[in-house]
Amino acid sequence: MDTYDLITRNAEEVVTEEEVRELADDPDGKRVYVGYEPSGVLHLGHLLTANKLIDLQEAGMEVVVLLADVHAYLNDKGTFEEIRETAEQMKAQFIAYGLEEENTEFVYGSEFQLDEEYTLDLQELQVSTTLNRAQRAMAEIQGGETAKVSHVVYPLMQTLDIEYLDLDLAVGGLDQRKVHMLAREELPELGYDVRPALHTPIVADLTSGEGKMSSSEGVTISMEDSTEDLEEKVNSAFCPPTRDPEDDLENPVLELFEYHVFPRFDEIVVERPEQYGGDLTYEEYESLATDLESGELHPADAKGTLATYLDELIAPGRKKLREIRD
Ligand code: NAL
């Protein structure tokens, strides 16, 4: 795979292609970041961007993970002490998941976001951005029902972080796109450079195929899940054997194969007894999806296989989490 394809595979949006192509021409030492509001347990949403980080490390880039403690605080996620503690657990799980420790820099937001220069830049952004613009940028990220003043400061800080962490590329789920667009507009106002962004898809809810898989509603798969939990959750997932071109429901089982399993394994083996046709081996997502549609691969076999591979991906982080807790 060429470097541009590796950098952009499974990305739902590339802003802009031209800018990312320029990075792909000379990726060595380029700094790319993802930021996360700390939470104690990683779920598949975190792992989707983590897979992208692993691709980018393979492309030769330096990865910065921002443990966004101040942002989590602004988004009402707990006391500062609680957030700090969960951030440490999060870091350990990322490393267990497969981010190369020597190529990953973990930074706490509070390490630089409370500096005088940062604060003054933030005030300047508050003057130059309308309330409406900041609220729109935050709409998909905001946790609670009621918007607080902190919710409009949040996207402005995320904007500034891109400059202060000295980043060449911003990566996030599609829910971060409006903040990244705000950053592209506002950074030049302060005399800073515009940065390109890559957005990963949002996986649909497991049982309905609608909306997004979220930790606050519906079923999520996380590093806390046991092998049995995983089997149960995946078995009850929505997995229509054929796609109706009229409906816009996603097949979450296929999405998990595409975004989580295939990027991390060279080959996927569906084990089947001889009487049902014997094992199937896939090297790429498309052939598995085609077989599911044609009926060659039964949804129950697809689900069983998915649970096995997800279990393998999650196992090291699950072990780490249990060690931390004991
Ligand atoms: C991501 C988040 C917070 C601050 C950031 C700063 C720079 C780069 C990325 C960042 C968390 C993200 C979320 N907004 O919704 O989890």
pLDDT, tens digit, 9 for 90 and up, residues 99-133: 988 889 999 999 999 999 999 999 999 999 999 99
Q: Is the pLDDT of residue 243 over 90?
A: no
* Phi and psi angles of residue 282, each rounded to the nearest 5 degrees, phi first: -125, 135
Pocket of ligand 1 (CB under 6 A): 33, 35-37, 66, 68, 71, 141, 158, 161-162, 176
Q: Is the pLDDT of residue 215 over 70?
A: no
pLDDT, tens digit, 9 for 90 and up, residues 295-321: 999 999 999 999 999 999 999 999 999
Q: Express as a percent the part of the chain with pLDDT over 70.
A: 97
pLDDT greater at residue 210 or residue 217? 210
Q: Is the pLDDT of residue 196 over 80?
A: yes
Q: Is 215 annotated as a binding residue?
A: yes
**d(CA 109, ligand 1 centre) in Å:** 10
Going by CA atoms, what residue is nearest to atom 7 of ligand 1?
Answer: 158
Whether 294 contacts 241, CB under 8 Å: no
Most informative mutation of 67, 168, 176 for ligand 1 (most atoms within 8 A of CB): 176
pLDDT, tens digit, 9 for 90 and up, residues 88-108: 999 999 999 999 888 899 999
Task: Name the residue among 238, 296, 237, 236 with its Cα closest to residue 272.
Answer: 296
Pairing mode, strands 169-173 and 197-200: parallel
Task: Name the residue among 146, 59, 135, 47 with its Cα closest to residue 98.
Answer: 47
Q: Which residues contact 182 (CB under 8 A, 6 or more apart)?
A: 129, 133, 134, 137, 155, 156, 159
**d(CA 174, ligand 1 centre) in Å:** 12
> Quick one: pLDDT at residue 40?
84
**d(CA 294, ligand 1 centre) in Å:** 41
CATH of 227-325, one of 3.40.50.300, 3.40.50.970, 1.10.240.10, 3.40.640.10: 1.10.240.10
* Structural domain spans, the chain: 3-200, 227-325
Q: Residue written as tokens 């606050």?
A: 216
Going by CA atoms, what residue is nearest to atom 12 of ligand 1?
Answer: 36
pLDDT, tens digit, 9 for 90 and up, residues 7-54: 999 999 999 999 999 999 999 999 999 999 998 899 998 999 999 999
Distance CA 192, CA 287 (A): 45
Going by CA atoms, what residue is nearest to atom 8 of ligand 1?
Answer: 35
**d(CA 37, ligand 1 centre) in Å:** 6
Distance CA 206, CA 219 (A): 6
User: What is the fold, at CATH topology level, of the domain defined by 3-200?
Assistant: Rossmann fold (3.40.50)
Atom of ligand 1 nearest to the CA of 34: 9
DSSP 245: T
pTM of the predicted structure, to 2 decimals = 0.91
Q: Is 285 annotated as a binding residue?
A: no
